[in-house]
Chain A
Amino acid sequence: MSDVVLKNATIVDGSGSRQGDVAIRDGVIHEVGEKLGGGDTVDLDGLVLMPGLVDLHTHLREPGDEEAETIETGSRAAALGGYTAVVAMPNTNPTIDSAAVVEQVRRCSSRALCDVVPSAAITVGRNGELLAPMAELVRAGVRIFTDDGRGVQDPRLMRTAFEYAAGLAHLAGGTAGSASGVVLAQHCEVDELAGHGVMHEGEWSSRLGLPGQPAEAEELMIHRDLALAGLTGGRLHIQHVSTAGGVEMIRTAKAAGIAVTAEVTPHHLVLDHSHCAGFDPVFKVHPPLRTAADVAALRAGLQDQTIDAIATDHAPHTQQAKECSFLDAAPGMLGLETALAVVLTELDLDLSTVVRVMSINPARIAGLDHRHGGPIAAGRPANLTVVDPNVSWTVQGSTLASRSSNTAFEGRVLRGGVIHTLCDGEFVVRDGEATR
């Protein structure tokens, strides 16, 4: 690996913002200072250097649905979006519910352009009936467990999962300095209340004649899981919060000392249910786009750190899966390549906050903070991304690196683009293009 010196960067990490040069040697940051020399120099004048982003919630579809995305194409999309690590969701085929499938995912990740960190299901086959072999999975390196796509419906089973996970601390001791322990991440949705709802139940679902699911379908399970986390002392992570009520409950729970973290998607921070008016299935997603009041509450939750992280819930789907009625279309939208730009364009957050919610916090929650999330300092692995905060570009699903093109931001002009991404010191994205 050649030595690289990144010069004249505006460096933003957990300790704030400063100007400087960063010298990288053998995949590791060698020195951060002024007027550094030696090696291949890259001028970052006018650009922002930050720790690589970490996505807590990505669907890479491999194994099982390679038509929509593969680990390689998904990781390329991630790298172009500034991500150096993604947590891969286990709702693949086969489900990631055994060490064997974890190994399979790791093998398929050999050509990835970023770190691919497998998560595993809480229940076998995500069926909500039997606990998955968590110890085996933790030994295989898994730290996040989720039945994502569904929530665990049975409260007794969820309680047992929390209790059992808490007993795995000795297996899940972190590697040199990273957070230890196992996290249960929940897609909070009570199936019976959600019913066949394909969008938020409210003004728009009534007008459009589409079955909806009420906010309570999410809020009830958030309430339940917070109570169970309190009861058992387990670590809970709430995925893709979408309701004002949910935010409020998490705020209260944190104040009461419950070990809960939460994520929100860029689309829930920007879009609402009125976007469904044209029946375009690209806006169909679980949890659904909700009201303007929910959007406001989610933004407030991000600001006051009730919500710890932005996670994409990148959900690629083939055209076939989306070119049908809103009722039948597969739910979910792309996210990896647009997340950072959407955040920079649509939200009023300073860069330190962006780094905190898109890199530092997610790295810590996933137990990856020994490699990702910064700080940008000597000795740290060179997992970095370089962003031009001023470049303007138009989102075009057909030209994105993902195999699929189902982006809800089609045609939108965004401000902010990734120029370079480095994974362990190697340029995986250079001058806006993937290097492989």
Chain B
Amino acid sequence: MRQRGPHHLLSMADLDRDGIEQLLNLTESFAEVGERPIPKVPALRGKTVAWLFYEDSTRTRLSFETAAKRLSADTMNFSVSSSSVNKGESLRDTIETISAMGIDGIVVRHSAAGVPQQVTQWTEASVINAGDGWHQHPTQCLLDLFTARTHFGDLEGRRITIVGDIRHSRVARSNALGFATMGAKVTLVAPPSLLPSSLEGWPVAVCHNLDEALEDTDICYLLRMQLERQKQAVVPSLREFHNEYGLTVARADRLRSDALIMHPGPMNRGVEIAGEVAERPQAVIGEQVANGVSVRMAVLFLLLGSGLDVVDNNRIAA
């Protein structure tokens, strides 16, 4: 029996500060569940969650699967290889078929921005965006916020520097919004060819000088640099990119001792981050991954099980 209509997590714009706090607090409880000998609660027993991954992503999908299973939910996997997508079973047909099997939640990942939002019109289930093109990746942002909060407590006034291919990054868009919502000061560092054409309305500062930006930062957040970008001629070479925008050993040495190094994974060692730096204790990438399961449990529980109104999908889509 449904108390209210489904809500969706499509973008960090769907959550205000209170909503994020609530989600992060809930994540603490689920982190505890993960440490039990039997890390399982019946909270979503009888609910079914479908994975609709149009883009290959074993890590994110496994993280969500683990989360769902720990909540005792049933799962259905519809990972679609890109070739069958091009052959044109329409998106609508796919969603209506899945919905007809009786599901409570769909977790969607797609290489095209906006697909999770479009999916909401063809299903009664709650839709969770697991990454849509360059647009948003809200659960990644939430696990990053949780990780940061674990180390720093209140994020108000904390400085986060996001470095790399901002233009093509859903992680950058989600994190810029999410960290700013929590009161952090966000600085983007990238060459102009890797910044969005317009930063109108973005709650960020911009800088092209990584050394300057890292001077007093609390978090150095590195984005994955697609190796194909060199072929697309948006940067002269990956070597130049590493020298100007990579977290080299020299730059890492100058970070404050309590600063965190974060990365959404998987890392291209030698491109956005020097291999040696990735092994330092300041680099909390492993924690991020571990927190991913707890955060996704919180998201699944809140949307499918709790009966609470946390998300507001009527905020301006961004």
**Which A residues fall within an 8 A CB radius of B?**
201-203, 205-210, 212, 214, 277-281, 319-320, 323-328
Contact = CB atoms under 8 A, between A and B. Distances in A.
A203 B317 contact: no
A201 B197 contact: yes
Contacts of B135: 208-210
B4 to A, nearest CB: 22
Interface string B183-208: 00000000000001111111000000
Nearest to B199: A206
B248 to A, nearest CB: 29
B114 A325 contact: yes
B168 to A, nearest CB: 8
A39 to B, nearest CB: 52
B118 A279 contact: yes
Interface of B: 88, 90-93, 110-115, 117-118, 132-136, 170, 173, 196-202, 316-318
10 contacts: A205-B197, A207-B318, A208-B113, A209-B136, A209-B173, A210-B114, A277-B316, A281-B118, A324-B90, A328-B112
Nearest to A278: B317
Contacts of B201: 203, 207
Nearest to A274: B316
Across chains A and B, which 10 residue pairs bring their CB atoms closest together, nearest first? A279-B114, A325-B112, A209-B134, A209-B135, A206-B196, A327-B112, A203-B200, A323-B92, A209-B113, A206-B198
A202 B93 CA distance: 32
Nearest to A280: B118
B133 A210 contact: yes
A301 to B, nearest CB: 24
A218 to B, nearest CB: 16
A325 B134 CA distance: 13
B188 to A, nearest CB: 12
Nearest to A326: B114
Contact of B112 (A205, A277, A278, A326): A326
Given A277-B316, A323-B93, 15 more contacts: A201-B197, A207-B173, A207-B202, A208-B317, A209-B133, A210-B114, A210-B134, A214-B197, A277-B318, A279-B118, A279-B317, A319-B90, A325-B110, A325-B112, A325-B133
Contacts of A327: 111-113, 133
**Looking at A277, A281, A325, which has the most chain B CB atoms within 10 Å of its CB?**
A325
Nearest to B117: A279
A323 B113 contact: no
**Looking at A201, A212, A328, which has the most chain B CB atoms within 10 Å of its CB?**
A328
A173 to B, nearest CB: 48
A278 B13 CA distance: 13
Contacts of B132: 209
